[in-house]
Amino acid sequence: MIPSMVVDLLMQNKINYVKLFSASDNVLEAFSATDIGLEITMPNQSTQKMKTQADVDEWVVQIIVSHPNVHFMYVCIGTQPLSTRFFNQTYPEAIQVLDWTQQALNLMNKSEIKATMSHFTDVLILAKKPSEGAFRKDLEPNITRSCQILQSNNAPIGVVIFPLVNVNDLFNGDTEFAFLENNSTSVFKDGDKTYSNVVEVMYDMFDVALEKVGCPNMTIIIDAIGWPTDGIKDGNIPNAQRFYQGLAKFVASKKGTPRRPGPIDVYIHNLSDENKINKNAGSFMRHWGIYKFDGQPKFNFDLQGLGRDVKLVPAIGITHMPKRWCIFNDRYASDIGKVAYNVFDDQVKYACDTADCTALDPGGSCSNLTYMQRLSYAFNVGFQKAAQSVSNKSCYYNGYGKIVSDDPSTPSCTFPVEILAAEIPNFTGYAQSLAHALKPSSISLMTVVVQTLYISFTLMCTC
């Protein structure tokens, strides 16, 4: 999906503020001369390359100063750089880069643009009551320094809340406590304050922790919050729709939390699924989107929080590849049981190592398939990932695959058809080196509307 399509989708849905995770030149240019306010991200790997103030100055010139017609608002330093829940390492050097970035912005007469940083809730100690909130001792020095830098520049700090993950960690998997309708039996009192959902718990716990390190009354935004739609128990489309509708009403009410009444800025994570996200923390991490890979909305959603049955505007101009699928050739069905299962399992592993097989995971939308259907699903996602290529035998699988024109999907499991690749993000300088390291396959975006619902999302550029 080309960047101009993404911008059109935003404008059609009246989304006026966006966060970019991959600030490539052609993506930034697509936002040029629009009224859309941007928060851009300096990726974790880029913060490692920043050894001096001069390095950061060069990055700011390349990404911000060289795009004068783009409405920049924030620069987010790293992606949860102190978190280990979803990443294999931490990036403490991001704290110094945070300071250098704001200095660079100030020096270049861009002081209205604020450098900021956000953290997943795993930076907190394990506690169930907000009043017990505190940062982990090993992270406390870096958290303290970062919040002091932000405070001195009147910049917000972000907290990342994934309710389904949080209730599994702290509230015995009480999924109802993750919703905001306040119907859970896990409701509890903390002093004179009542907590009826995990979102308010985690927000106030983060607030208490900031106060304990000498950073009270900071502006706290929920930098990412969402509900996965596949690959995990209770991660499905109906639950996601229910959660987002409740979240939109919560934000629109401007009631805030028991400790911090008033409006809260919230980023929804995210617009579209991402098929190349590292799945070490769980394959469900690829399926946070309110849109499918092809830019079609998964469900109706009133972004204004008024509870209306509103359809999101779909992406326009997306082209699918031919309607054909690769499945297990049932001519060899009798081989199942005769040939060692590991022969077939090796074929599944081969396909799923490069393609997205999240739906086959326990709790996933395709987890109830028969063994032969599971083989077909894996064969097909590998075939689609290879752009349905016949020349490189992408449906060969040791002779067990065959191409069909009849859709093998079941009522609960969709066998996907790939979309045509359109445009590869154009990276330069530091961004180019990062692109080489990560081999990005998507344009990642997060939308923001001040004191209302922010939406984080990703639209695929299958490259």
- CATH code of 240's domain: 3.20.20.80
Assess if residue 441 is contained within a domain.
no
pLDDT bucket at 422, cuts 50 / 70 / 90: low
pLDDT at position 343 is 64
Separation of alpha carbons 438 and 361, rounded Å: 25
| Residues 106, 34 within the same domain | yes
Evaluate if residue 14 carries a pLDDT over 90.
no
Phi, psi of 324 (to 5 degrees): -145, 150
Mean pLDDT value across residues 108-128: 96
Q: Is the pLDDT of residue 82 over 60?
A: yes
Q: Are 55 and 120 found together in one domain? A: yes
In a domain, 377, yes or no: yes
Instruction: Kindly state whether residue 311 falls inside one of the protein's structural domains.
Output: no
**What residues form DSSP beta bridges with 115?**
75
Inside any domain, residue 299: no
**Per-residue pLDDT reduced to its tens digit, 267-298:** 888 888 877 776 667 788 889 999 888 889 99
In 3D space, the residue among 278, 230, 275, 274 whose CA is nearest the CA of residue 382 turns out to be: 275
**What distance in Å separates the CA atoms of residue 378 and residue 328, rounded to the nearest whole number?**
9
Same domain, 181 and 286: yes
User: Within a domain: residue 119?
Assistant: yes
Q: Say what the pLDDT of residue 432 is.
A: 32
Give, in order, the Cα–Cα distances in Å from 346 to each of 360, 375, 397, 400. Answer: 15, 10, 10, 12
Q: Does residue 374 lie within any of the structural domains?
A: yes
Specify whether the CB–CB gap between 426 and 3 falls below 8 A: no
Instruction: Name the CA radius of gyration of the chain, rounded.
Output: 23
Higher pLDDT, 188 or 5: 188
Say yes or no to pLDDT of 339 above 70: no
Pair (284, 380) in one structural domain: no
CA–CA–CA angle 157, 161, 162 (5° rounding): 155
The domain in which residue 351 lies consists of 325-404
Q: Which helix (H) or strand (E) holds 454?
A: strand 453-460
Q: Are residues 280 and 344 in the same domain?
A: no
In a domain, 421, yes or no: no
145 and 192 share one domain: yes
Q: Are residues 111 and 256 in the same domain?
A: yes
Q: Tell me, what's the pLDDT at 456?
A: 45
Nearest partner of 441 among 421, 463, 425, judged by Cα: 463
> Residue 125 has what pLDDT?
96
Q: Tell me what pLDDT residue 421 has.
A: 62
Mean pLDDT on 335-359: 78
Greatest distance between any 2 Cα atoms in the chain: 72
Phi, psi (degrees; rounded to nearest 5) at 318? -80, 135
Q: What is the pLDDT of residue 156?
A: 96
- What does the block give as tokens for 235? 């991660």
pLDDT tens digits for range 294-311: 889 999 999 888 889 999
Q: Give per-residue pLDDT as tens, 191-223.
A: 999 999 999 999 999 999 999 999 999 999 999
> Is the same domain home to 210 and 338?
no
What confidence tier does 458 reach under pLDDT thresholds 50, 70, 90? very low
Pairing assessment for the beta strands 114-120 and 157-161 based on DSSP bridges: parallel
- Over residues 46-67, the pLDDT tens digits come to 999 999 999 999 999 999 999 9
Mean pLDDT value across the chain: 86
Whether residue 85 is found in the same domain as residue 225 = yes
Show which of 404, 437, 456 is a domain's final residue. Answer: 404
% of the chain with per-residue pLDDT over 90: 61
**Is residue 432 in some structural domain?**
no
Residues 215 and 338 in one domain: no
Are residues 255 and 393 both part of a single domain? no
Domain count, the chain: 2
